[in-house]
Amino acid sequence: MTTGSKRPLRHAAALLLTGLVLLTAAPADAAMVLRRGNQAEPGTLDPQLSSLAWENAVIGDLFLGLATEDVAGKPVAGAAERWTTSPDGLVWTFTLRPDLVWSDGTPLTAADFVAGINRLLDPKTAAIYASVLYVIKNAEAANGGKVPLDQIGVRALDARTLEITLETPTPYLLGLLTHQTSYPIPRHVVEKFGADWVKAGNMVSNGPFKLVEWKAHEHIKAVKNPFFYDAANVAIDEVIYYPTDDTNAALNRFRAGELDVNLGTRGFPSSQIPWLKENMPGQARITPMLGSEYIVLNIRRAPFSDARLRRAVSLCLDRGVLTDKVSRDGQVPAYSFVPPGIDNYANAAKLDFAGRTMEERRTEAKRLLTEAGFGPGKPLAFEYLYMISIDSRRSVVAQAAMLKECNMVVRLIGNEPKVHYDQVRAADFFAAQARWGADFNDPQTFLFLLETRAGSYNYGGYSSATYDKLVDEGRFTLDLIKRADILSRAEQTALDDSAVVPLSFFSSKNLVAPYIKGFADNAADVNRTRWMRIEK
């Protein structure tokens, strides 16, 4: 055995004895602290303004919706203890748990949920995720400034009873209500501090934890909320979230014991999977997700306002090589936009060239490029934005090589995730990497991204009257089989228009130390700290 020093054996024994004494002397009620790697630096912890998975990971520990996620990521009762639904499926009535309070002891009422939803939909808030709740009656009209906020179909019948009226029956409503956009807000704190209400020292919340510290690009610290209704069953006393954009550095910190978990879709470099399996068995958790990775092309301006060029890009990418030889982390090639296995959907939509050889696809792509005025002497050149990580870099370099074979020259530009998505949402790009994980288990969570009314979430600016009409028709179709067929036709329309370039259906890659209990692999990749505990 190789060692780093040649201390006498008695010295090593003394050190061991000292360690045993210290362990014995540690108080039995020592605080249980979870050190949690969390992908990237949040842009905000404001539930109604948040839009990113690593923001939701923190916000979902601080706040509790009417529904929440269980240990397996499934919707269960949250702040509401029960609910009823009208026979036509349009009116849901929620009864809150008794004696709910905010983390400062102030009573929490149904009006706080009304205030949160109204704030999301208020045009003055300019919440980019507002469209996710357009299923609520008059939500879209209010968000567009066409009707006043008090016309939105959400009202408090009394302190413990909330009524939500929908535009159309929504089988996935409980999943929507686990999402941060529907969380309540502490009106007394927002009124006092305005936009600063989310700062440490100001924020109060209603979830299992409360915010105590936020050092930008260093860490966020939260402690157990003693006023949480189920605080007695929350084992973790303190959770510290670290931004872990650099997955290689994060893996090193995990190996050194500085992180207990590193959670998210990019928890460790794919190249380290063989080493992890051999040396840290069971600690690298790879799980298929309801998530899509794709390239978004800016349709608003040349060159990708030309559908022929968008199709040429899609034709030239060998998805099997990208998943099987480049990523090698459980991803599967994507020839549709909506992932397989999602509820309420038997997906028949598919890129029409899925079964053709790469030689045939390259031939067509070169023909399309020639028609559009490009070729060997005049390659199609464009910038391609991607999120900096070891895995992303390997993938986009491989994609650039594939595109070069079809007379396309790509300039790769990498940024950290927040900067990347800020630029993409501002439509300041030609081509960009994008990833989307399901907010709820229904195809609508993906299809809404390509609706004209999706705003800045429709990154490429795709707009099709046919597509929009079909998605709307699906919303008002009660028969789930007929609805699935309509939505599948909508997806096929978008694929035929080359609205996006699907690449893969991805997997989550989490690092979990063996002493962490209460963590469960799940397709939603939602793991709330509330359910975890440390057993060393």
134 backbone dihedrals φ, ψ, rounded to 5°: -65, -10
User: What gap in Å lies between CA 304 and CA 307, rounded to an integer?
Assistant: 7
DSSP 324: I
Written as one letter, the residue type at 95 is T
Q: Residues of the chain with pLDDT > 90: what percent?
A: 86
Written as one letter, the residue type at 367 is R
CA angle (158, 159, 160) in 5-degree steps: 95
pLDDT at position 24 over 90: no
- Residue 10 has a pLDDT of 28
User: What gap in Å lies between CA 100 and CA 51, rounded to an integer?
Assistant: 27
Pairing of strands 380-387, 408-415: parallel
pLDDT at position 109 over 70: yes
- Residue 455 has a pLDDT of 87
Written as one letter, the residue type at 526 is V
- For 181-207, what is the mean pLDDT? 97
518: region left, alpha or beta (phi > 0 left; psi from -120 to 50 alpha) = left
**What's the CATH code, domain 290-507?**
3.10.105.10
471 backbone dihedrals φ, ψ, rounded to 5°: -65, -40
DSSP 107: B
CA 281 to chain centre: 27
**Which residue is listed with tokens 């004696």?**
99
Pairing of strands 284-297, 501-512: antiparallel
Give the E-state strand segments of 406-529 in sequence order. 408-415, 431-437, 501-512, 516-517
Instruction: Give me the residue spans of the domains in the chain.
Output: 65-187, 290-507
- For 78-102, what is the mean pLDDT? 97
User: What gap in Å lies between CA 98 and CA 94, rounded to an integer?
Assistant: 12
Question: Mean pLDDT for the chain?
Answer: 92
Longest dimension (CA), the chain: 80
Q: What pairs with residue 414 in β-bridges? A: 386
User: What gap in Å lies between CA 485 and CA 345, rounded to an integer?
Assistant: 8
pLDDT at position 7 over 60: no
Residue 55: its H or E element: helix 53-62
Among 79, 43, 38, which Cα is nearest to 57's? 38
- Residue 29 has a pLDDT of 62
DSSP H stretches of helix in 372-464:
390-404, 417-425, 444-447
- For 27-56, what is the mean pLDDT? 91
Determine how many CB atoms are found less than 10 A away from the CB of residue 36.
Answer: 26
Residue 121: its H or E element: helix 110-121
Give 78 or 455, the one with higher predicted confidence: 78
- Residue 19 has a pLDDT of 40
Convert the pLDDT of each residue in 128-175 to its tens digit: 899 999 999 999 999 999 999 999 999 999 999 999 999 999 989 999
- Residue 45 has a pLDDT of 98
Q: Quick one: tokens of 482?
A: 């007929």
Confidence category of residue 330, pLDDT binned at 50, 70, 90: confident
pLDDT at position 505 over 80: yes
122-126: long-range pairs with CB below 8 Å, 24+: 122/149, 125/48, 125/49
Quickly list DSSP for 273-311: HHHHHHHSTTTEEEEEEEEEEEEEE-TTSTTTTSHHHHH
- Residue 117 has a pLDDT of 98
Pairing of strands 33-37, 238-242: parallel
Give the E-state strand segments of 125-237 in sequence order. 154-158, 161-165, 209-215, 219-224
pLDDT at position 5 over 80: no
Contact between residue 336 and residue 351 where contact means Cβ atoms under 8 Å apart: yes
Range picked from 16-25, 220-229, 320-329 for highest mean pLDDT: 220-229
- For 331-342, what is the mean pLDDT? 95
Residue 241: its H or E element: strand 238-242
User: What gap in Å lies between CA 522 and CA 48, rounded to an integer?
Assistant: 25
Fold of 65-187: Dipeptide-binding Protein; domain 1 (3.90.76)
- Which range, of 15-24, 72-81, 503-512, averages the lowest pLDDT? 15-24
Written as one letter, the residue type at 26 is A
> Is residue 60 helix, strand or coil?
helix
Residue 367: its H or E element: helix 358-371
